[in-house]
């Protein structure tokens, strides 16, 4: 069975600090996708990134970066120079290439509060 663990329930930082959100996943399949979503106070989930299991290259998008390490089954998300607008709940998710109908297995989320 698949599982996604986000051990950090809540994180509070001061604006301009860097922050890393941890995500650890479990699956016996060798082909899968990993995702990060952002849920701001408005409630709508916003897709941030998809990474497939064959691509361990780290990715950077502006202040956001993602570190995918298959050896530790982790897909961590770093926000550099955090801003108040980054305050949200962040979800990590997993789906399998085959047999899952694309169903996402979500972690329980990490609530990030960025204070001015």
Q: Is 54 in the site for other proteins (CB under 8 A)?
A: no
Kindly provide the residue ranges of all beta strands, DSSP E only, lying in the chain, ordered along the sequence.
3-5, 10-14, 19-21, 24-26, 32-39, 46-52, 59-61, 64-69, 74-79, 88-96, 105-106, 110-115
CB 81 → other proteins: shortest distance, Å? 25
CB 56 → other proteins: shortest distance, Å? 18
β-strands 10-14, 46-52 pairing: unpaired
* Contact criterion met (CB below 8 Å) for 4 and 23: yes
Of positions 91, 92, 112, 114, contacts other proteins by CB under 8 A: 91
Of positions 1, 44, 98, 99, contacts other proteins by CB under 8 A: 44
Q: Is 24 in the site for other proteins (CB under 8 A)?
A: no
Task: Kindly list the residues in this chain that would bind other proteins in the complex (CB under 8 A).
Answer: 33, 35, 37, 39, 42-47, 50, 89, 91, 95, 101-104, 106, 108-109, 111
């Amino acid at each position: 069975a698949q599982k996604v663990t986000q051990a950090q329930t809540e994180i509070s930082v001061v604006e301009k600090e860097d922050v890393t959100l941890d995500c650890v996943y479990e699956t016996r399949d060798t082909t899968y996708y990993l995702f990060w979503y952002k849920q701001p106070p408005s409630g709508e989930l916003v897709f941030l990134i998809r990474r497939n299991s064959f691509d361990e290259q780290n990715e950077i998008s502006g202040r956001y970066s993602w570190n995918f390490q298959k050896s530790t089954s982790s897909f961590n998300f770093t926000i550099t120079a955090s801003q108040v607008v980054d305050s949200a709940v962040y979800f990590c998710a997993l789906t399998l290439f085959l047999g899952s109908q694309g169903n996402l297995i979500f972690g329980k989320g990490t609530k990030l509060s960025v204070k001015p």
